[in-house]
Amino acid sequence: MKELRELQNEIEEIEQQFRREIFDDSQLPPILYHYTNVYGLQGIVESSKWYATHYLYMNDGKEIIYGDELVQEELDKRIDTEPDDWVKKTYNKCLGKEYGSPSLLREFDYDIYIVSFSEEGNLLDQWRAYGDDGEGYSIGINPSKLAAIITGPIITDPKNLAFVKVEYNPSKQNSLIRNAIDEARLILKRELAGAVDDTHRNQLCTLIASHLSRTLIQLSLFFKHPAFQNEKEWRVVRIRWGRHPMTGINPGSVRNVDFRSGKGILIPYMKLNFHSMATDEVDENERLLPLKHILIGPKHKYREQQAQHSLEMQLLKKGYEPDRNNPLIRMSQIPYQ
């Protein structure tokens, strides 16, 4: 049996190793694309910042709930079959059932903001869903520039960003979930064997539940239904102290949060400055995005010259150098009206 501080250090080392094994081996593609409408394009280019939307307000909120439901399903199975009441108690803590929480994400005391990128910059489904039904833009960037400045753990430090490839394979998803739970259970059973009283056992359950929650949420944020695998998505994730079912909203969670209108409601989002991730403070020094090119949506064919000319003007004003051999602005050739 280990002291709680020693055990916590062991758990943190396990979490770091887990992240390295699962997330650090993804091969970066030569280019990634972000689909947006004209307002998003204007704001991103002018500010050199990316707009990360609160996960509950994304175009399809079920994208994030999918992973959460996979985790909840596996934990519910474990709760039904687990013979050890203390292990079962830990699973319930992990799900937040002690607080009447409906899911792992709902119990988690953070707000989660996401920017989505795709390896494919000219997909009709993407234009329809995220590119203003073909009247938007697809911003192509050099992802190696992002990988160099986006580092750190996803959950344990809200000052860091995560940049990870989405996993679509259900077998891989479920295997990762089961492995994470199995490892947490092994540690808990080992420590429970030497616990001196119920107070100590409760402390162990709380500590392991916290570890398991972080790990499972970290996984669920990068799981997506296999029906969307043609998107080849990557996600940048930022977390903030947020809402908790027992405590309400943390005032600090809305610092540097902006709002835009959409579908009759206000949508919370954050402007992420990828050039300075040490703090949330806005870097006043203008920086250029690592642009490869920008694709104009297929519905702009009848005003292609205007769309291209005005975008060229904005890019020149910001300091992007034109290159005739590798033009920054291109037109989608998909036949879509």
Buried b or exposed e, range 146-163, using 16+ CB within 10 angstroms? beeebeebbbeebebbbb
| In the predicted structure, residue 143 carries a pLDDT above the cut 50 | yes
- Domain chopping of the chain, boundaries: 4-282
pLDDT tens digits for 231-254? 999 998 888 766 554 456 666 677
- Look over the chain and give the mean of its residue pLDDT values, rounded to a whole number: 83
Sequential DSSP letters for 56-98 = GGSTTTHHHHHHHHHHHHHHHHHHHH---HHHHHHHHHHHTGG
Q: What is the pLDDT of residue 132?
A: 92
What are the two backbone dihedrals, phi and then psi, of residue 12, each rounded to the nearest 5 degrees? -65, -40
Q: What is the pLDDT of residue 279?
A: 40
Nearest to 111 by CA among 278, 237, 280, 213: 237
Q: What is the pLDDT of residue 134?
A: 94
pLDDT over 90 for what percent of the chain? Answer: 44
DSSP 203: H
Q: What is the pLDDT of residue 242?
A: 62
pLDDT tens digits for 42-92? 999 999 999 999 888 887 667 778 888 999 999 999 999 999 999 999 999
Cβ neighbours of residue 27 closer than 8 Å, sequence gap 6 or more: none
Least confident range from 77-81, 157-161, 174-178, 226-230: namely 157-161
Highest mean pLDDT among 92-101, 114-123, 192-201, 215-224: 114-123
Token pair for residue 50? 């990316």
Question: Once rounded to an integer, what is the mean pLDDT over residues 174-179?
Answer: 93
**Residue 226 and residue 219 in contact, taking contact as beta carbons nearer than 8 Å:** no
Q: What is the pLDDT of residue 104?
A: 65
| In the predicted structure, residue 164 carries a pLDDT above the cut 50 | yes
Q: What is the pLDDT of residue 149?
A: 65
**Residue 117 and residue 235 in contact, taking contact as beta carbons nearer than 8 Å:** yes
Q: What is the pLDDT of residue 249?
A: 64
